[in-house]
Structure formats: C-alpha cells, structure tokens
Amino acid sequence: MTGLTRLGVAKRVAAAAALSGGGIGVLTGGAIGLIVAEAKLARRAIGPTKGDPPRADGVYGAWYAAPGVDVIRIAMLGDSSAAGYGVTESARTPGALLASGLAEAAGAPVRLQNVAKVGGQSSDLGWQLERVIAAGPDGGGPHLAVIMIGANDVTHRVKVAESVRFLGDAVRRLRAAGTEVVVGTCPDLGSIRPVAQPLRRLARRWSRQLAAAQTVEVVSAGGRTVSLGSLLGPEFAARPEDMFGPDRFHPSAEGYAAASMALLPSIAAALGRWPDAETGEPDTLEPARGEARMPLARAAVLAARHGGTEVGREVGSAARAGWGILRHRRRRQIAEPVVPPGADASAQAGGEATDSGAGAAAESASA
C-alpha cells in the first residue's frame, strides 16, 4: 500500500466499526443454524442473476459541444449497482443518469465508460482500474471516477480491513493520476425483503460497519463518499414494489434513479460544477442543514446512519489530519437521458452471472 500501512488501515477500520455499533457478538449454535437456514431460503427466493446489464457507454450532452468546451470523461467502477443490473434500457442505468445529469450541470459533453461487473467485489477494482486507464486518451485516466461497491463484500463476508484496503488502493491510484473520486458506500442489505430476522438485522449491521469504514478510508485517500445505505433502506422498505426489481434484491429503475440523484450533486461538486443554490458558491457549509467539519470517524458513522450524506476531505492550509467535512447537498431531478448511438437499447440475454445475493452473508457466518 502506498504511503499507508495495513496496521494504519486496521486502526481506522476498528475506530469506525466501534462507533457504528461494534461487532455482531457471539452467536450460539442454534442461532447460527437459524441464520444459515434463512440464508438458504433467501438465496432460493432471490435466485441467480442472469444476463448482462444494458451498455450505456458513449457521449451524453453532445449538443453542448463548442469551441473551448472540453469533454468531461467519467468512469463507473464497482458491482451490479454501478453496472445497472436489473433494468432493460440503457437510459435507466446509473451511468447514463449520472452522465446526463452531469452534462446538464456542467454545460459540457460527458463521455461515460462503465467497467463495473455484476458480482464484483472490492478486490476486482484493480483490473477495472487498469481498463479505465488503458482506455483514456494517450493512456490517461478519466476526470472523475464513480465507484459503487460493497454489497458483495458483505455477502461473501470479506474482512472489512481487506475490503477497504482494495478500495483505498484504487482511490489513491486514481487521485495520483489527477482523477476525482466519488464512492457510493455499501447499501443497506437489511432492506432486502427475502431476508428474514435475525439475518436482516445482521446484514444491516455489517452493511453500516463497512460503509463507515469505506468513508474513513476513501476520504483519507483523497476522495469523497456519499452514503446510500439508510437513504435507500427506508424508501425501499416502504415501497419495495417500486424500488426493487423483479428479483427483489437489485434496485428497479426508480431505485437506481433515487441513488443517482443522491450521487449527482457530489459528483458535480467534485469537478467544481455544482454551486450552492442560495449562495452561488461551490462549497459553502450550511450549519442549519447539519453541515460541519468534524473528526472523520464521527462523520463516517453519521453518514452511514443518514443516507445521501457526503463526506469529503478538508483542503487548504487549515486542513487538519483526521478531520472531514460532512454535507447534505440539495438534489434535483435528473432529466431523461438521451442515449448515445451505439449503446444497447436493452439488456442482453445471457447465462448466470456471479452476483450471489444476500443469502451468502450468513452461509459463511458459521465458517
């Protein structure tokens, strides 16, 4: 790891996990048996993923092209949530929504490249990053990278320290190349309907612990995060028929739109293209909205509990090590994307993919 030891990562992860509720405690043999049984039922109800998400790569907002207006390059990395698994139209994927919204906010064309993988874990970010860098002009990378990752790390019970180490490495490499990074942290797997208690409660706790640790690591590496867990949890729980897709595990088109609206302000702000609606300034703190500078571990925990919260690093001469900035940026509706020529209009049929569903979380809990 460049510039950081594994011990340093472990200490930060431990601090975030402790503040977000500690470990899962000691499970009795009977409890483990119940959880494993529930996991098998959940896996059966969710079923394997099939086919590939629709492709949405290309240039959005091409009508903004003009002399002196540069094309903004963005890349999507991560798992099925970044790929847009479960929707059938390119325009409904998070990548298309974010590229279209950014083009409108910036008044410039946006070129999207999506290398996210269904079933992806944080350990897959290395090869995804290689593809992103190789595809850039003259070997250069994108101006901004959006990473959505974590759910499969939870379901496969990857150690939190190991998960965030892969994520932190990717963020540092991107930042070293001059790429801004926004990470949508681990979603709330406790909102999955086929998952029963007590597995649902454990899934929620594991999700929040990973989300808090992701925030600490990403901000320390120079990126910023937006929490998706509790943002999507209550909305998905209240309207599961609208927010979940047919498998009741992956989001529907409306669910992806909700996540994209939460991410867009932070993505545009990372590029200096999202001025505050009231002041016109790009990064004015609003204490009345709960925005503040605070210790990073505390900001990470608050963000994991309150969805749609951005946590970023302090900059400038007044920046303090171990501190971050917590924001609640105002959102706005994203217009219907105009899909570039060459993008698939619908999902491709195919074989089973590797996204395993929430049921895998507890099947390995007894290991």
CATH number of the domain bearing residue 163? 3.40.50.1110
Identify whether 172 is part of a domain: yes
Q: Where are the alpha helices (DSSP H) in the chain?
A: 6-19, 29-46, 80-83, 94-106, 125-135, 151-155, 160-176, 199-220, 229-238, 240-243, 253-270, 296-305, 360-363
Identify whether 153 is part of a domain: yes
Residue 276 structural domain: 6-341
Buried b (16+ CB within 10 A) or exposed e, 196-212: beebbebbbbbbbbbbb
Identify whether 280 is part of a domain: yes
What pLDDT score does 4 carry?
A: 43
Residues of the chain with pLDDT under 70: 1-51, 135-140, 190-200, 230-253, 275-283, 316-318, 342, 344-367
Identify whether 347 is part of a domain: no
What pLDDT score does 21 carry?
A: 44
What pLDDT score does 191 carry?
A: 62
Identify whether 367 is part of a domain: no
Identify whether 358 is part of a domain: no
Please tell me the pTM assigned to this model.
0.79
Identify whether 366 is part of a domain: no
Catalytic residues: 80, 247, 250
Identify whether 112 is part of a domain: yes
Domain count for the chain, please give it: 1
What pLDDT score does 158 carry?
A: 87
What pLDDT score does 282 carry?
A: 56
